[in-house]
Chain A
Amino acid sequence: MIEAEPGDDTALDRALIERWNAGDEQAATALVTRHAPALARYAVRLGMSDEAAELVQDTFVRAFGALGTFRSESSLRTWLFTIQRRLVIDRRRATARRGQELDIEEVGYASTGYDALDTIVADETSMRVTKALASLTRMQREVFVLRVQEGRSYKEIAQILDSSEGAARVHYHNAMRAVKEFLDD
């Protein structure tokens, strides 16, 4: 299995982090510019369209406050995805505590994620694919989005989801089968 992560991205991110630590403000601008679009896209995929911009900002603030804990064995983007996913979970739990009786595990996906069809789909075929993705379970959709749309490897997906590579592979193939069945109906 070949890792989907581009090799030179990690080196570039590491160099930018070093420059940032040395006081180069432009390095931070470069890092945010490089990863903000993917984070925003991921936030939308996680069903956080309305808060995507705020989530992206919070993710970068938290990440830069904890750069010392970043391990170079993973890519910076994978690490950012992990942080953002935890922020999403925290927000959902906070929403649940406010008494809105929301299912922590499922909230945001079925109701807001791919149901924002008017802003996502461009044609009928895309609408059907979008509905197929919306029919997936939370874990299947997360794995499918990370694998197909973000190009993350199973190893990275396991890291982001705090799971195992084997589990990520199983979720991916189950998701692919479910999407095919949805489209065949």
Chain B
Amino acid sequence: MTDCMNAEMRDLLPDLAAEALSTAETSRVGAHVAGCSPCADELALIRQVRGLRAPAVEIDVGAIVAKLPRPTPGAAPRVTAPHDDRGVVSLDARRLAATHAAVGRRSLANRARGAWRVAAALGVIVAGGWSIMMVRSGGIPNMQMQADSVPLTDLGAGVSVPNVTANEDGGNTPIADTSPNAQATEGAAISFGAMNDLTDEELTRVLDRLEQWDGATSVETTTTRPILLITPGEARQ
């Protein structure tokens, strides 16, 4: 049995035997085979091989289907999407379901975070509004806050610095206590009260103390001593 020199035709013979060629191709290859003895012999051999029957194998389709792993219930349908020039990328339903679940978890977290933000904003608005209302209505009666006094002994001037706690307005402004006890011991306590109730003297004391806390007093309370005094005579020496 010789071989045809037309490699293309020989390659198409199995397709012709399998009837997998288009009508035009079938005609073209058929015409070649009709005039080519080697290809006719080879086509006959191919058909003979195709006609060989394998031993019958009993296949239980129902049993096979019963053992197949089921797709994930409720999973998103499988998607086949173009990916790039190299081909097609398939997205598994389980991968899609996992993605959806992750998105769902992120959405829940975002919603919870948003709820906390709304609650915090409402709290600030209510507290601020209530504070403004109280201030405009004449102050906050009987609300006092004890403050720790830390004497700055190093300064040698008996200046005390209170640890200030945020007041109702959200600010940190301390107001001097006007009680006699507080007047006897400088900076022992701070009270919140209406500024209108203070006398001029008390207001002056409050302002002085505020300046001291800021580190810039209106009145120099300590004597400044020069570290090295050089007289004109010593300089000449």
CB distance from B83 to the nearest CB of A (A): 10
* A138 touches B (CB below 8 Å): no
Known: A52-B57, A126-B52. A32 touches B94 (CB 8 A): no
Q: Are A32 and B93 in contact (CB under 8 A)?
A: no
| Docked-complex contact A67 and B21, CB < 8 angstroms | no
Instruction: Decide: A69 and B90 in contact? CB cutoff 8 A.
Output: yes
B134 at the interface (CB under 8 A from A): no
- Say whether chain A's binding surface is mostly helix, strand, loop, or mixed: helix
Interface size band for B:
35 or more
Kindly state the separation between the CA atoms of A47 and B59 in the bound complex, as whole angstroms. Answer: 17
Instruction: For chain A, residues 34 to 50, give those with C-beta under 8 angstroms from any C-beta of chain B.
Output: 36-37, 40-41, 43-45, 49
Interchain CB contact (< 8 A) of A20 among B14, B71, B80, B92: B71
Chain B hits for A71, CB < 8 A: 87-90
Decide yes or no whether A149 CB sits under 8 A from chain B. Answer: yes
By the criterion CB–CB under 8 Å, are B68 and A61 in contact? yes
A4-B92 contact in complex given A57-B67, A148-B46, C-beta closer than 8 Å: no
Binary interface encoding of chain A residues 48-61 relative to chain B, with 1 for a CB under 8 A from any of its CBs, else 0: 01001100110011
Smallest Cβ-Cβ distance to A180: which chain B residue: B1
A121 shortest CB reach to chain B, Å:
8
The answer to whether A68 touches B57 (Cβ under 8 A) is: no
Q: A1-B11, A41-B54, A148-B14 are in contact. Are A68 and B92 (CB under 8 A)?
A: yes
Contact (Cβ within 8 A) A45 B54 = yes
Q: Chain A: which residue is nearest B86 at the CB level?
A: A73
B80 touches A23 (CB 8 A): no
A29 close to B69 (CB less than 8 A): no
Q: Does B17 contact A (CB under 8 A)?
A: yes
Q: Give the complex CA separation of A177 and B3 in angstroms.
A: 8
Which residue of the partner chain A has the closest CB to B59?
A36
Query: Please, how many angstroms separate the alpha-carbon atoms of A17 and B53 in the complex?
Result: 30
On whether A149 and B52 interact (CB within 8 A), knowing A37-B59, A60-B68, the answer reads: yes
The size bracket of the interface on A is 35 or more
Known contacts A14-B80, A68-B78: does B54 contact A151 (CB below 8 Å)? no
- Tell me whether A151 and B57 are in contact (CB under 8 A): no
In Å, the complex CA distance between A179 and B49 comes to 10
Which residues of chain A (168-185) have a CB below 8 Å from chain B? 169, 173, 176-177, 179-180, 183-184
Of B14, B15, B52, B58, the residue contacting A120 (CB under 8 A) is B52
Q: Does B45 contact A (CB under 8 A)?
A: yes
* 28 A-B residue pairs with CB within 8 Å: A1-B8, A4-B14, A14-B80, A20-B71, A21-B93, A23-B71, A28-B68, A29-B61, A29-B65, A40-B59, A44-B55, A45-B54, A60-B64, A61-B67, A64-B68, A68-B95, A71-B87, A72-B88, A119-B55, A121-B52, A147-B14, A151-B15, A153-B15, A173-B10, A176-B45, A179-B45, A180-B3, A183-B45
A contact residues vs B (CB 8 Å cutoff): 1-6, 14, 17-18, 20-23, 25, 28-29, 32-33, 36-37, 40-41, 43-45, 49, 52-53, 56-57, 60-61, 64-65, 67-73, 116, 119-122, 125-126, 129-130, 133, 144, 147-149, 151, 153-154, 169, 173, 176-177, 179-180, 183-184
User: Which 5 A-B pairs have CB atoms at the shortest separation, nearest pair first?
Assistant: A68-B92, A151-B18, A119-B55, A40-B57, A180-B1
Known contacts A53-B59, A61-B67, A72-B90; 12 additional CB pairs below 8 A are A1-B11, A28-B65, A29-B62, A40-B54, A41-B54, A53-B57, A61-B68, A69-B90, A151-B15, A180-B1, A180-B42, A183-B45
